[in-house]
Amino acid sequence: MPFPEIDPIAFAIGPIVIRWYALAYLAGIFLGVGYGMLLLKRKSLWVKGTPPMTPDELFDFTFWIVIGIIIGGRLGYVFFYDPLNFLANPASIIALWDGGMSFHGGMLGLMVAMIVYLWRKGANILSGLDLLACCATIGLFLGRVANFINAELYGSVTTMPWGVIFPGGGDLPRHPSQLYEGLLEGVVLFLVIRFFTHNLLALRKPGLVAGIFGIGYAASRIFVEFFRLPDSHIGYLAFDWLTMGMVLSLPILVGGIGLVAWSQSRRHA
């Protein structure tokens, strides 16, 4: 099928250009915060009826969420995906308008911000990471939809009926791998986590939901990487199938398994 005619620019006010990608980031953050506030209000979901913060504290923490995602995402892309280019042109590191953000780096930046905040507050850090896991899937879904609108990060050539002929991707249909990721990492993982938090009361075991997120995200990302083309300046790392995305997802998978095992081994009130 042909690529839908969607302008990556949502609207412009004079010289100021607002792109769907930026709006997806903002919507993901604020919708995630809104969902997190709803979870925090339901104290019965949390261990000992004590959530890691209040809804108002989470709203105030939104600024640090934005900072953590932007700095972590950009530095993650710089160090993981194109270090030599940025080393030769260090001024380009701050050129966010040229693109280049890493989910793995953004997640790390967000986790660091949350850990520091809760450590200074004396709250349960693992419960804070569980909260992030509940909300992150919303941003993941919107971010991948924005990647599709930008006609970037598409997949290999396919004969499947839903293959898309992307601008810049040649005349042959390709896997819409952005939508695969959005479906798995966003919609499916959100529903799985929602089942665990509300039906199995998983938030009463700090670290369990964060572990489930880590396993679900890593497994989904590794699976989709088999259909998604790697960055052209990196290519495949080995075997004509191993990608940087797979390598960066492996520690998340191991960490997720570790958190699930840890949470299950502890006794909670």
Contact call for residues 112 and 98 (beta carbons, < 8 A): no
How far is residue 96 CA from its own chain's centroid? Answer: 18
| Phi and psi torsions of 236, nearest 5° | -80, 140
HEC sequence for the chain: CECCCCCCEEEEECCEEEEHHHHHHHHHHHHHHHHHHHHHHCHHHCHHHCCCCCHHHHHHCHHHHHHHHHHHHHHHHHHHHCHHHHHHCHHHHHCHHHCCCCHHHHHHHHHHHHHHHHHHHCCCHHHHHHHHHHHHHHHHHHHHHHHHHCCCCCECECCCCCCEECCCCCCCCECCHHHHHHHHHHHHHHHHHHHHHHCCCHHHCCCHHHHHHHHHHHHHHHHHHCCECCCCCCCCCECCCECHHHHHHHHHHHHHHHHHHHHHHCCCC
Distance CA 67, CA 73 (A): 10
Q: 144: annotated binding-site residue?
A: yes
Query: If we measure between CA atoms, which residue out of 116, 106, 117 comes closest to residue 32?
Result: 106
Binding site, annotated residues: 144
